[in-house]
Every structure is written in C-alpha cells, then in structure tokens.
Amino acid sequence: MNPTPMTPTPMTASPYPHLQAVVFDWAGTLVDHGSLAPTQIFVDAFASFGITLTLDEARGPMGLSKRDHIRTLLEHAGLRAQWTARFGRPPGDADIDAIYERFMPMQIEHVGRYSAPIPGAVEMLAALRGAGLKIGSCSGYPRQVLDVLLPQARADGVWADHVVAGDELAAGGRPGPFMALANVLALGIGDVRACVKVDDTTPGIEEGRRAGMWTVGLSLSGNETGLTLAQLQALPDAEVAARREAATRRLVASGAHLVIDSVAQLPKALAEIDARMGRGERP
C-alpha cells in the first residue's frame, strides 16, 4: 500500500515581498538613545584644547565621519573665532588631526557606556530577519570605535549581517552614497530600490537618497531630538510633540520618505513602503 502523502507545510508569506534589505545607522538608531556617545566626546575633546563647544553645536554635523565632523565644526564662525583667539591663527588641517587624535581614545574608552539598544530594536531586528530581510549597517564611527561597540551591542541582541565604518572607504562617507552601496554589494542585493536606509541624522538620510534607496528618518530616538529615553519621557506631551514636529521637518527636508519616532515603529513603516512599491512607486 502506498503511504499517505504528507501535506507540505505552507510557507509563511513575507510581509515585505518587494523589499530585500534594510541598512541601519548605529548611534541614535539601533543603540544609544539620544546619540550621546559621539556628541559628548566632541564637547570633551574640544574642551581639552580650551574651546567651548555646546552639545547642540556638536550635533550639527552628526552623521558625517568623525574627522569630517571635526572639520565642519571648525568651519563654524564662533568656533573658528575661539580657536584664533586662543592660538593666534585660524584652525588648519594639522589642528583637525590633533583634535581627532585626542577624540579617538576618548571615544573608544567611553562608547561602551552608550551601547544600550534603543527600546524595541532587538525585537524589530528579529522580526525583519524572520521576514527574510537582510540587515546592513553603516556608521560615522571609525572601525576602531565599532570594534568596541559591536560586540557589546551583539551581546544585547543587536547585530547586522554587514557593517561599514566611517573611515573604511576611499570614496568617503556621508552624505555620499558609498557606505550604503557597500552594503548592497556585500549583501548581494539585486536592486537598490528594494533597500531601505534608516537613520536619525540628515546626512544619513541624504546618503540613502543618493544611493537610490527608500529612507526612513527617526525623530525622537536620535540626534535630531538628542535626549536620553529618561529625559524624553520626563517631558510634557506637548513638548514631545513639538520636538517630534521640528525633527520631522528637518528629516523630510533632507529627503526622508517616512519619519517615525524610533525603530520600534519600523515594521509598520516597511509595510507602508512595500505597499507603495506594490502600487508601482519607486524611491
């Protein structure tokens, strides 16, 4: 007698059939609510040269590679005037190098203090992997800093299939498309239009747009609002709404297709993007 044929177990359809990968930033996106690790260390590094830099000023160029970040800060009229008054000359390339060399060991020493996952990030990444999406990532952090951050983040459940550091590519970093496209190559993605770049900074959103990807900005978890979770939760609802609105304006102006509070809301945003692709829309 022939055995009764087994009924094959139906495969669960992906909730995102038109998408292939999501490329994430790190600080302020997956870890470090408020993106404090880089900003506070910039303040401390400049202070070691006798230069006063506020946290808001430090946040201005966030998303760039750290050397480019320092260069951009020193182009600010107020900081340039401070430097000239203290050292008798405007800052030059050697001064950028000197601040960077002071910044790096401070950043390496302290980045682990700010490696806690954004609430919902662990569950979100698991859901995306369960849906068959590949997970890429890139950062303004140099590789030396990521070598400290990544093992701690992974121990907490946050990891990516591929990571590109801000100092690894000869072509440069943000707002150019190079780190995002390096993820496309490494992950074997067939169409950049099937990728979503998620970032809490305007240069990171510009990076995704220049790479031809969909882009999702984060209004409350990262650099644009710049508060720890405890600080954010302590604000009145009206103040949170005002900060969300201001951050959303900046992120949309930089090219974000969608803006959400944090990566905890990303699955819903991806479903919207996938539906738009199903209607024939492209980034």
- Per-residue pLDDT at 64: 81
d(CA 215, CA 179): 14
Per-residue pLDDT of the chain (283 residues; tens, 9 = 90+): 344 444 333 346 789 999 999 999 999 999 999 888 878 888 999 999 999 998 888 888 877 888 888 999 999 999 999 999 999 999 999 999 999 999 889 888 888 888 899 999 999 999 999 999 999 999 988 899 999 999 999 999 999 999 999 899 999 889 999 999 999 999 999 999 999 999 999 999 999 999 999 999 999 998 999 999 999 999 999 999 999 999 999 999 999 999 999 999 999 999 999 999 999 999 9
Annotated catalytic residue 66 = yes
Strand 258-260 to 195-199 pairing: unpaired
The pLDDT score that the predictor gives to residue 4 is: 42
What one-character-per-residue DSSP string does 182-249 give?
HHHHHHT-S-GGGEEEEESSHHHHHHHHHTT-EEEEESSSSTTT---HHHHHTS-HHHHHHHHHHHHH
Residue 134 annotated as catalytic: no
Q: What is the pLDDT of residue 31?
A: 96
pLDDT for the residue 12: 61
Which distant-in-sequence residues (6+ apart) come within 8 Å of 220 by Cβ?
227, 232, 240, 243, 244, 247, 261, 262
Closest C-alpha to 202, from 22, 35, 61? 61
Q: How far is 205 from 207, CA to CA, in rounded Å?
A: 5
Pick the catalytic residue from 66, 167, 199, 200: 66
Report pLDDT for 10: 37
Nearest alpha-carbon partner for 180 in 201, 164, 156: 164
pLDDT at 61: 80
- Structural domains present in the chain: 21-36+115-278 (3.40.50.1000), 38-113 (1.10.150.240)
Half-sphere exposure (CA, 13 Å, Cβ side) for 164?
Answer: 27
Q: What one-character-per-residue DSSP string does 54-108 give?
A: -HHHHHTTBTB-HHHHHHHHHTSHHHHHHHHHHHSS---HHHHHHHHHHHHHHHH
Evaluate whether 83 touches 91 at the Cβ level (below 8 Å).
yes
Burial of residue 165 (CB within 10 Å: 0-12, 13-18, 19+) is buried
pLDDT at 5: 41
The whole model's pTM is what? 0.86
Alpha-carbon distance 264 to 252, whole Å? 19
H or E segment at 21? Answer: strand 21-24
Quickly tell me which residue has 């990076």 as its tokens: 207
